Chain A
Amino acid sequence: MIDLSKCGYDAANLFFWVVFPYIAITIFFIGNAFRFFAFPYTWRTKSSEILEKKMLRPASLLFHYGIIFAFFGHIIGIVIPKSWTEEMGISEHTYHFLALYGGTAAGLMVVAGLVLFIYRRLTNPRLLAITTTMDWITLFLLLAITTLGVINTIFLQYDYRDTVAPWFRGLWVFTPNYTLMADVPILLKLHIFLVFVLTAIFPFTRLVHILSIPFSYIFRRPIVYRERCP
C-alpha cells in the first residue's frame, strides 16, 4: 500500500473531504437520474397523511418550513463567500447574530418536527406497518445531522466561513482544499460527513421528492388535455 503521508498527503482528510464527497455526489446524480428515468413509478413523496393527519400537521409544518429556512441559511453561510456578504453591507456582527438566532430557530424547528415524526410513526400501528427500513434510516440520519447542526450553532460558534465554506465551494469547481478541513472541530466534521452520507443514500430514499418541487404548476393552464401517444 502506498503511504500517502510520505508524499505530503493527509490520507484521512483526503478521504473524508475529497474522495468521499465526490463518491457521494456521483451516487447522488447518477442514482437520481437512474431512478427518475428507469423507475419513475417509485418517485413520490410517500405521504402518510391519509392514515394520520392530526399529529402530522405540527410535525410536517415544523420540519418542512424549518428545513427550507435552514437550507437558505446554509446558502448564505456556505455558498456565498464572506467577501460578498460584506460588500452587501452585512457586517460580521450582523451575520453572526442572524446565523446564531436564525440558525438555532430553524434547527430547533427541524429537530422538533423530526422527533414528532418519529414519535408519530412509533405510536401509530398503521404507520408502523408501512414504515420501511429506509424510512427509519432517513429519519434518524436527519435527526443526527440537524441535532449536530443545532449543537454546533449554539455551543461551538466556530467560524466556518474561512474554512468549511471555501473547501465546500472548491468541491464544485474541482479544487477542494481539504487541508482547510483539518482543524475543523470534530462535531462539525461529523455534521458534514453525515450530510454526505445522506447525499449518497438520497436516491434510495423518499427524499427524492425534494427534486420535484412542482414549480411548473404556477404557469400551466388549469385543465390538462393529453392526446394519446403524442
Chain B
Amino acid sequence: MRVKAQITMVLNLDKCIGCHTCSVTCKNTWTKRDGVEYVWFNNVETKPGVGYPVQWENQEKYKGGWEIKSNGKLQLKQGNRLFEFLNIFHNPNLPTIDDYYEPWTYDYEHLFNAPKQKHQPVARAKSLLTGKKIDIKWGPNWEDDLAGAPEHAVNDPNILKMAEEVRMKFEETFFFYLPRLCEHCLNPACVAACPSGALYKRNEDGIVLVDQDNCKGWRYCVSACPYKKVYFNWATQKAEKCTFCFPRIEAGLPTICSETCVGKIRYIGVILYDPDKLTELLNEKDDKKLYEKQLEIFLDPHDPEVIKQAKKDGVPDNYIEYAQKSPVYKLMVKYKVALSLHPEFRTFPMVWYVPPISPILQLFEDKNYDELFSSIDEMRIPLEYLANLLTGGNVDAIKDSINRLVAVRYYMRAKELGKEIDMKKLEEVGLTPDGAEELYRMLAIAKFEERFVIPTTRKEFDRDVYKEQGMTGFDYTPDCDFCLP
C-alpha cells in the first residue's frame, strides 16, 4: 500500500440552477485571451443534450479514455504508442474548432459609427478567428434548457444507449444541469497520451497541469481526454486545461467556480487513495462495476495503518487531518450518495456528482410514504439515463444513492412536521438518524467552511520558485501570439 492525497470536488446536481456563474467567473479568470475564446474550462450543459464539444461522450467518434484490449491489457482507446508515432502528423481523432463552436464577438463600433439612416444600426456577429462577419449556427449552450431538444437531445449518447425510448414531447420531457470541469483523474488519459511528457499529475494534491514550456503541441492529450477538457489554444498552438485554480487551492481557498457558485452546490476536500491498486481495479472488464471498483481505491483516513503509511509516503500532517474531516469523503465513500461521471471511460475521474432528484417532490405529495421507494422507478428522469451518465450503466448504484437522498428527505420532513418516523425506512438504505441529519446538514445548509475543507500548501521551503514559471499552466501573455515564429 502507498498513500497519495487528491483534491476532489463533489457537485450536488439537485441544487444546480443552471445560472452559468461558474462558467463566467472561470472564463474571466483563465480564458479571456486570444486563442482560447472558444475554451470553457468550466461549462454547464443541459442534459439530455449533445454537450460541448458536440457529442463529447461518444467515444466511437472521439476515441477518448481507456479500453481493455483483447489481450486483457489496459490501453488508450485512441491507440498504443506506435499509433501515436505513425499518426503524429495528423491526429485522426482530434476534434476541430467547429465541434466546439466558432468564437465570435459583435461589431459594436458600428453602433457608434453608422451614418444617419432610416433604420436602427445593428451590431453584427464577427468571427474571432477571421474577423469576418458570420452567421452563428452553433455556440456554447445552444441547447440551454432543452432548446432545440427534439432535434439535438436525441443524439445524446446517454439516450442512444438506453433501451427504453425517450420521448421529447413537452409533457414528458425532463432535464437537469451538468456543470463540467477537468476531472483531475487518478488515471488521466491526457497525461498518458502526451508524447512530450508535458502533462503531469502533481504528486502532492493530484492536480493535473500542462507544462507550457514542455508542450510541443502534438495534440494527443486533446483527443485522449474522454471528457474533452484539454483544449488546444489555436493562437499559441499549445494545450491548456483547467488548473483546479491551484494558486487558490494552495492558499486554502476553493476554486473560483466553487467560490462563486450561486446554488452552493460544490464541495471540495481531500481524499486519500492507494495508487498501487490502480491497475488491478481498472482491469475490471464489466463497465457496470467500475464505479464500485473506484470506491475501493479510496482509503479510510481514520485507519491508523493508513495514517502511518501516509506519513511514511510524505503526505503532510495537515492533509491527513483535512482528509479526516473531508466533506467529499463523506458524500462519496461514507454515505455513497455522490457518483462518478462516466467511470466506464476508465480514467477514475475525481469530480463526482450527487444525482438530481428534484422532480421527486411531487411523489411526496401524491403518494403514501409506503410507496416511497417503489415510486423512484417512476421518476421523471429515467434511472437508466442517470446510470448511463454517472455509474457506467449500473442502475442499482443510482437507485441506492437516490433512495438514501429520499430517505433523508422523508426523515427530516417527518421530524420537522412532528410525524411518526418509520426507522425501517432509514435502516433499509443503511442510514442512522445521526447519519441522516449529517447528510441533511451537508446537502442543505452546509456553510462555506463545511463545504470547502482545503489544507494550505507549505511553500516556504521551496528553493527555486522561479523555476516553476511556465510549468504549471498558462502564466504569461506574449505581446503578440501571431508574431511568434
Contacts and interface: CB of A to CB of B under 8 A. Distances in A.
Interface of A: 40-53, 56-57, 60-61, 63-65, 125-126, 128-130, 132, 134, 204-206, 209, 212, 214, 216-218, 220, 222-229
A227 B204 contact: yes
Nearest to B205: A228
A214 B464 contact: no
B353 interface: no
Nearest to B231: A50
B187 interface: yes
Interface in B206-222: 212-219, 222
Given A50-B96, A206-B485, A223-B188, A229 B216 contact: no
A229 B197 contact: no
Interface string B396-424: 00000000000000000000000000000
A41 B237 contact: no
Given A50-B94, A50-B96, A223-B188, A229 B196 contact: no
Given A40-B213, A42-B484, A49-B94, 16 more contacts: A43-B213, A46-B217, A48-B234, A49-B90, A50-B97, A50-B222, A57-B90, A63-B89, A65-B89, A128-B130, A130-B235, A212-B196, A214-B197, A217-B85, A217-B197, A228-B204
A59 to B, nearest CB: 9
Given A40-B214, A45-B216, A125 B482 contact: no
B90 A60 contact: yes
Find the residue from A44, A61, A212 having the highest chain B CB count within 10 A: A44
Contacts of B105: none
Contacts of B92: 57
A53 B90 contact: yes
Contacts, number: 142
B308 interface: no
A180 B172 CA distance: 85
5 contacts: A45-B216, A61-B89, A129-B130, A222-B191, A227-B203
A177 B97 CA distance: 53
Given A129-B129, A228-B204, A49 B91 contact: yes
A223 B130 CA distance: 38
B197 A64 contact: no
Contacts of B131: 129
Contacts of B84: 217
Contacts of B441: none
B199 interface: yes
B263 to A, nearest CB: 33
Contacts of A41: 212-213, 236, 238, 470, 476, 478
Given A51-B129, A126-B129, A228-B468, A220 B197 contact: yes
Given A50-B94, A214-B195, A224 B201 contact: yes
Find the residue from A42, A52, A220 having the highest chain B CB count within 10 A: A42
Given A126-B129, A212-B196, A228 B218 contact: no
A228 B200 CA distance: 11
B163 interface: no
Contacts of A42: 484-485
B468 A229 contact: yes
Contacts of A48: 234, 237
A222 B282 CA distance: 14
B245 interface: no
B201 A225 contact: yes
B465 interface: yes
Contacts of B204: 227-228
B476 to A, nearest CB: 8
B315 interface: no
B470 to A, nearest CB: 6
Given A217-B84, A227-B203, A45 B218 contact: yes
Contacts of A44: 215-217, 236-238
B462 interface: yes
Interface string B157-193: 0000000000000000000000000000001100110
B129 A46 contact: no
A59 B70 CA distance: 34
A169 B201 CA distance: 46
B334 interface: no
B254 to A, nearest CB: 20
B463 interface: yes
A124 to B, nearest CB: 9
A187 B217 CA distance: 36
Contacts of A206: 485
B202 A228 contact: yes
Nearest to A216: B197
A131 B222 CA distance: 22
Contact of A228 (B81, B219, B237, B462): B462
Nearest to B250: A228
Contact of B237 (A46, A220, A223): A46
Contacts of A228: 202-204, 457, 459, 462, 468
Contacts of A217: 81, 84-85, 194-197
A206 B236 CA distance: 12
B470 A225 contact: no
B187 A53 contact: no
Interface string B456-485: 010100111101101100001010001111
B219 to A, nearest CB: 6
Interface string B62-97: 000000000000000000010011000111101111
Interchain residue pairs A-B with the least CB separation, the first 7: A214-B195, A40-B213, A222-B192, A64-B89, A44-B217, A226-B200, A224-B200
Nearest to B461: A229
B251 to A, nearest CB: 14
A218 to B, nearest CB: 6
A229 B484 CA distance: 28
Given A51-B129, A217-B195, A223-B191, A132 B483 contact: yes
A173 B126 CA distance: 58
A196 B92 CA distance: 34
B201 to A, nearest CB: 5
B119 interface: no
A63 B194 CA distance: 23
A184 B48 CA distance: 70
B235 A226 contact: no
B96 A52 contact: yes
A125 B132 CA distance: 9
Nearest to A225: B203
Contacts of B470: 40-41
